[in-house]
Amino acid sequence: MNTPPAETTPDIFSYRKYWAQRFGVAPMLPMTREEMDQLGWDVCDIILVTGDAYIDHPSFGMALIGRLLEAQGFRVGILSQPDWTDCEDFHRLGRPNLFFGVTGGNMDSMVNRYTADRKIRSNDAYTAGGAAGKRPDRAVTVYAQRCREACRDVAIIIGGIEASLRRIAHYDYWSDKVRRSVLLDAKADLLVYGNAERQIVEIAHRLANGESIEELQFIRGTVHVCREIPDGWSIRDSTDIDRPGHVTPHVDPYRQEPACQDRPEQSAVIRFEK
Protein backbone atom coordinates (compact mmCIF):
# COMPACT_ATOMS: atom_id res chain seq x y z
CA MET A 1 0.00 0.00 0.00
CA ASN A 2 1.37 3.41 -0.98
CA THR A 3 1.21 6.07 1.71
CA PRO A 4 0.80 9.72 0.70
CA PRO A 5 3.81 11.96 1.40
CA ALA A 6 3.61 13.97 4.62
CA GLU A 7 2.63 17.60 4.19
CA THR A 8 5.68 19.81 4.57
CA THR A 9 5.59 23.34 5.91
CA PRO A 10 7.17 25.81 3.46
CA ASP A 11 10.13 27.87 4.58
CA ILE A 12 8.74 31.20 5.73
CA PHE A 13 11.41 33.03 3.71
CA SER A 14 10.96 30.93 0.56
CA TYR A 15 8.35 33.30 -0.91
CA ARG A 16 9.42 35.60 -3.71
CA LYS A 17 9.73 39.06 -2.20
CA TYR A 18 7.20 41.72 -3.07
CA TRP A 19 8.53 44.39 -5.43
CA ALA A 20 8.53 47.14 -2.74
CA GLN A 21 11.70 45.64 -1.25
CA ARG A 22 13.61 48.11 -3.45
CA PHE A 23 12.81 50.86 -0.93
CA GLY A 24 15.03 49.12 1.60
CA VAL A 25 14.63 48.82 5.37
CA ALA A 26 12.90 51.69 7.18
CA PRO A 27 14.65 53.05 10.30
CA MET A 28 11.22 52.97 11.96
CA LEU A 29 7.94 51.79 10.47
CA PRO A 30 6.08 55.01 9.53
CA MET A 31 3.23 56.29 11.68
CA THR A 32 2.43 59.51 9.75
CA ARG A 33 2.23 60.70 6.13
CA GLU A 34 5.33 62.82 6.71
CA GLU A 35 7.34 59.74 7.68
CA MET A 36 6.02 57.93 4.59
CA ASP A 37 7.16 60.85 2.41
CA GLN A 38 10.65 60.67 3.91
CA LEU A 39 10.82 57.00 2.86
CA GLY A 40 9.55 57.80 -0.64
CA TRP A 41 6.30 55.88 -0.17
CA ASP A 42 3.11 57.04 -1.80
CA VAL A 43 1.03 54.32 -0.09
CA CYS A 44 1.34 51.49 2.42
CA ASP A 45 0.78 47.91 1.34
CA ILE A 46 -0.28 46.90 4.85
CA ILE A 47 -1.35 49.00 7.83
CA LEU A 48 -1.13 47.46 11.30
CA VAL A 49 -3.41 48.86 14.02
CA THR A 50 -2.44 48.21 17.64
CA GLY A 51 -3.59 49.22 21.10
CA ASP A 52 0.02 49.38 22.34
CA ALA A 53 2.56 52.14 21.97
CA TYR A 54 4.83 51.42 19.00
CA ILE A 55 8.26 50.32 20.18
CA ASP A 56 10.49 48.76 17.53
CA HIS A 57 11.37 45.69 19.57
CA PRO A 58 10.37 42.02 19.17
CA SER A 59 8.71 41.98 22.61
CA PHE A 60 5.94 44.02 20.99
CA GLY A 61 3.91 41.80 18.68
CA MET A 62 3.03 44.38 16.04
CA ALA A 63 6.65 45.49 15.69
CA LEU A 64 7.69 41.88 15.14
CA ILE A 65 4.94 41.22 12.57
CA GLY A 66 5.64 44.54 10.86
CA ARG A 67 9.35 43.82 10.46
CA LEU A 68 8.61 40.29 9.26
CA LEU A 69 6.30 41.62 6.53
CA GLU A 70 8.88 44.27 5.66
CA ALA A 71 11.46 41.47 5.20
CA GLN A 72 9.00 39.92 2.72
CA GLY A 73 9.15 43.11 0.65
CA PHE A 74 6.00 44.92 1.81
CA ARG A 75 5.61 48.55 2.87
CA VAL A 76 4.18 48.44 6.39
CA GLY A 77 2.72 51.33 8.37
CA ILE A 78 1.69 51.44 12.04
CA LEU A 79 -1.38 53.06 13.62
CA SER A 80 -0.51 53.02 17.31
CA GLN A 81 -3.31 53.71 19.82
CA PRO A 82 -5.46 55.64 17.33
CA ASP A 83 -8.40 57.77 18.48
CA TRP A 84 -11.32 55.34 18.29
CA THR A 85 -14.11 57.86 18.88
CA ASP A 86 -14.39 58.37 15.10
CA CYS A 87 -12.67 57.06 11.98
CA GLU A 88 -10.67 60.24 11.23
CA ASP A 89 -7.45 58.92 12.77
CA PHE A 90 -7.74 55.76 10.66
CA HIS A 91 -7.21 57.87 7.52
CA ARG A 92 -3.80 59.00 8.81
CA LEU A 93 -1.77 56.71 6.54
CA GLY A 94 -4.28 56.55 3.71
CA ARG A 95 -5.76 53.43 2.19
CA PRO A 96 -3.57 50.28 2.29
CA ASN A 97 -3.08 48.28 -0.90
CA LEU A 98 -3.66 44.88 0.71
CA PHE A 99 -5.20 44.86 4.18
CA PHE A 100 -5.51 46.25 7.70
CA GLY A 101 -4.03 44.05 10.44
CA VAL A 102 -5.73 44.70 13.80
CA THR A 103 -4.77 43.71 17.34
CA GLY A 104 -5.67 44.92 20.81
CA GLY A 105 -1.99 44.73 21.84
CA ASN A 106 0.18 42.45 23.94
CA MET A 107 -2.65 42.00 26.47
CA ASP A 108 -6.35 41.41 26.19
CA SER A 109 -7.79 44.94 26.30
CA MET A 110 -10.28 44.07 29.06
CA VAL A 111 -7.56 42.59 31.27
CA ASN A 112 -5.40 45.60 30.46
CA ARG A 113 -8.08 48.10 31.54
CA TYR A 114 -9.78 46.33 34.48
CA THR A 115 -8.79 44.41 37.57
CA ALA A 116 -10.39 41.09 38.53
CA ASP A 117 -12.83 43.15 40.66
CA ARG A 118 -13.86 45.08 37.51
CA LYS A 119 -12.16 48.25 38.78
CA ILE A 120 -10.45 50.48 36.20
CA ARG A 121 -6.67 50.25 36.37
CA SER A 122 -4.74 53.46 36.98
CA ASN A 123 -1.87 52.67 34.59
CA ASP A 124 -1.00 50.81 31.40
CA ALA A 125 2.43 49.19 31.08
CA TYR A 126 2.24 49.23 27.26
CA THR A 127 1.61 52.97 26.93
CA ALA A 128 4.15 55.80 27.04
CA GLY A 129 4.47 57.10 30.59
CA GLY A 130 2.16 54.33 31.85
CA ALA A 131 -0.88 56.46 31.00
CA ALA A 132 -4.23 54.68 31.24
CA GLY A 133 -7.25 55.01 28.97
CA LYS A 134 -5.41 54.97 25.63
CA ARG A 135 -7.38 52.01 24.27
CA PRO A 136 -11.09 51.12 24.25
CA ASP A 137 -12.85 48.15 25.79
CA ARG A 138 -12.73 45.17 23.41
CA ALA A 139 -10.21 47.02 21.29
CA VAL A 140 -10.08 44.47 18.44
CA THR A 141 -13.80 44.89 17.76
CA VAL A 142 -13.71 48.69 17.97
CA TYR A 143 -10.58 49.12 15.82
CA ALA A 144 -11.87 46.73 13.16
CA GLN A 145 -15.17 48.58 12.92
CA ARG A 146 -13.37 51.92 12.56
CA CYS A 147 -11.15 50.46 9.81
CA ARG A 148 -14.30 49.34 8.01
CA GLU A 149 -15.74 52.84 8.27
CA ALA A 150 -12.53 54.40 6.97
CA CYS A 151 -11.99 52.02 4.01
CA ARG A 152 -15.05 49.89 3.42
CA ASP A 153 -13.59 47.75 0.62
CA VAL A 154 -10.22 46.91 2.25
CA ALA A 155 -9.68 43.47 3.82
CA ILE A 156 -9.44 43.39 7.63
CA ILE A 157 -7.49 40.67 9.43
CA ILE A 158 -7.59 40.47 13.21
CA GLY A 159 -5.12 38.68 15.49
CA GLY A 160 -3.14 38.84 18.70
CA ILE A 161 -3.98 37.37 22.09
CA GLU A 162 -7.39 39.05 22.32
CA ALA A 163 -8.57 37.60 19.00
CA SER A 164 -6.88 34.23 19.58
CA LEU A 165 -8.62 33.60 22.90
CA ARG A 166 -12.00 34.77 21.56
CA ARG A 167 -11.92 33.02 18.18
CA ILE A 168 -14.85 30.73 19.08
CA ALA A 169 -17.88 31.12 21.34
CA HIS A 170 -16.55 31.81 24.83
CA TYR A 171 -17.54 32.79 28.34
CA ASP A 172 -16.94 36.50 28.90
CA TYR A 173 -16.18 37.30 32.53
CA TRP A 174 -16.84 41.02 32.15
CA SER A 175 -20.40 40.67 30.86
CA ASP A 176 -21.03 37.31 32.62
CA LYS A 177 -22.40 35.63 29.51
CA VAL A 178 -21.34 33.49 26.58
CA ARG A 179 -20.35 35.65 23.61
CA ARG A 180 -19.96 34.57 20.01
CA SER A 181 -16.68 34.65 18.10
CA VAL A 182 -14.97 38.05 17.97
CA LEU A 183 -14.70 37.55 14.18
CA LEU A 184 -18.46 38.10 13.94
CA ASP A 185 -18.56 41.07 16.31
CA ALA A 186 -15.62 42.77 14.60
CA LYS A 187 -17.05 42.08 11.11
CA ALA A 188 -13.52 41.23 9.97
CA ASP A 189 -12.65 39.03 7.00
CA LEU A 190 -10.12 36.69 8.63
CA LEU A 191 -8.86 35.88 12.11
CA VAL A 192 -5.32 34.55 12.64
CA TYR A 193 -4.49 32.91 15.95
CA GLY A 194 -1.35 31.80 17.71
CA ASN A 195 1.97 33.36 16.73
CA ALA A 196 0.56 33.71 13.18
CA GLU A 197 3.82 34.50 11.36
CA ARG A 198 3.29 31.78 8.76
CA GLN A 199 -0.38 32.62 8.22
CA ILE A 200 0.13 36.35 7.79
CA VAL A 201 3.02 35.90 5.34
CA GLU A 202 0.99 33.50 3.20
CA ILE A 203 -2.04 35.80 3.29
CA ALA A 204 0.02 38.85 2.30
CA HIS A 205 1.65 37.13 -0.67
CA ARG A 206 -1.59 35.59 -1.92
CA LEU A 207 -3.39 38.93 -1.77
CA ALA A 208 -0.44 40.58 -3.52
CA ASN A 209 -0.69 37.94 -6.27
CA GLY A 210 -4.27 38.96 -6.99
CA GLU A 211 -6.35 36.54 -4.95
CA SER A 212 -9.38 37.94 -3.17
CA ILE A 213 -9.85 37.70 0.58
CA GLU A 214 -12.83 35.39 0.01
CA GLU A 215 -10.53 32.83 -1.65
CA LEU A 216 -8.24 32.56 1.39
CA GLN A 217 -10.02 29.71 3.12
CA PHE A 218 -8.76 26.70 5.06
CA ILE A 219 -5.35 28.23 5.77
CA ARG A 220 -3.95 26.53 8.85
CA GLY A 221 -4.21 28.78 11.91
CA THR A 222 -6.99 30.99 10.52
CA VAL A 223 -10.72 31.37 11.13
CA HIS A 224 -13.26 32.48 8.53
CA VAL A 225 -17.04 32.58 8.33
CA CYS A 226 -18.85 30.00 6.18
CA ARG A 227 -22.30 30.78 4.81
CA GLU A 228 -23.09 27.06 4.66
CA ILE A 229 -21.55 23.76 5.70
CA PRO A 230 -18.75 22.82 3.24
CA ASP A 231 -19.02 19.57 1.28
CA GLY A 232 -17.83 16.62 3.30
CA TRP A 233 -18.36 18.39 6.64
CA SER A 234 -21.16 17.80 9.16
CA ILE A 235 -22.35 19.18 12.48
CA ARG A 236 -21.85 16.92 15.49
CA ASP A 237 -23.38 17.40 18.92
CA SER A 238 -20.67 17.76 21.55
CA THR A 239 -22.57 15.44 23.90
CA ASP A 240 -21.87 12.60 21.46
CA ILE A 241 -18.17 13.09 22.16
CA ASP A 242 -18.19 13.97 25.86
CA ARG A 243 -21.44 13.08 27.60
CA PRO A 244 -22.02 15.03 30.86
CA GLY A 245 -21.97 12.86 33.96
CA HIS A 246 -21.81 13.08 37.74
CA VAL A 247 -19.67 15.97 38.93
CA THR A 248 -17.59 15.20 42.01
CA PRO A 249 -17.27 18.29 44.22
CA HIS A 250 -13.79 19.60 44.91
CA VAL A 251 -12.22 18.76 48.25
CA ASP A 252 -12.12 21.78 50.58
CA PRO A 253 -8.41 22.25 51.39
CA TYR A 254 -9.29 24.30 54.49
CA ARG A 255 -11.59 21.72 56.08
CA GLN A 256 -10.23 20.36 59.35
CA GLU A 257 -11.19 17.03 60.85
CA PRO A 258 -11.85 17.11 64.59
CA ALA A 259 -9.34 15.46 66.89
CA CYS A 260 -10.05 11.88 67.92
CA GLN A 261 -11.01 12.82 71.50
CA ASP A 262 -13.50 15.39 70.19
CA ARG A 263 -15.33 13.01 67.89
CA PRO A 264 -18.70 11.66 69.09
CA GLU A 265 -18.48 8.18 70.58
CA GLN A 266 -19.74 5.41 68.36
CA SER A 267 -21.19 2.32 69.96
CA ALA A 268 -19.97 -0.97 68.54
CA VAL A 269 -22.36 -3.89 68.08
CA ILE A 270 -20.94 -7.39 68.12
CA ARG A 271 -23.09 -10.25 66.90
CA PHE A 272 -22.51 -13.78 68.12
CA GLU A 273 -23.96 -16.62 66.15
CA LYS A 274 -24.32 -20.17 67.28
More confident residue, 132 or 259: 132
Kindly report, residue by residue over 194-228, the tens digit of the pLDDT.
999 999 999 999 999 999 999 998 899 999 998 88
Q: Are 46 and 96 a contacting pair, CB within 8 Å?
A: yes
pLDDT (0 to 100) of residue 231: 84
The tens digit of pLDDT for each residue in 135-164 reads 999 999 999 999 999 999 999 999 999 999
- Give bridge partners of residue 178 from the DSSP assignment: 171
Distance from chain centroid for Cα 249:
35
State the amino acid at position 243 in one-letter form. R
pLDDT-derived band of residue 99, with 50, 70 and 90 as boundaries? very high
* C-alpha to C-alpha distance for 64 and 60, rounded to whole angstroms: 6
CATH of domain 23-223: 3.40.50.280
Rounded CA separation 242/176 (Å): 24
pLDDT at position 214 is 92
Spans of all domains in the chain: 23-223
Span 53-95, pLDDT tens digits: 999 998 899 999 999 999 999 999 999 999 999 999 999 999 9
Q: What angle (nearest 5°) sits at the alpha carbon of residue 127, between those of residues 64 and 188?
A: 55
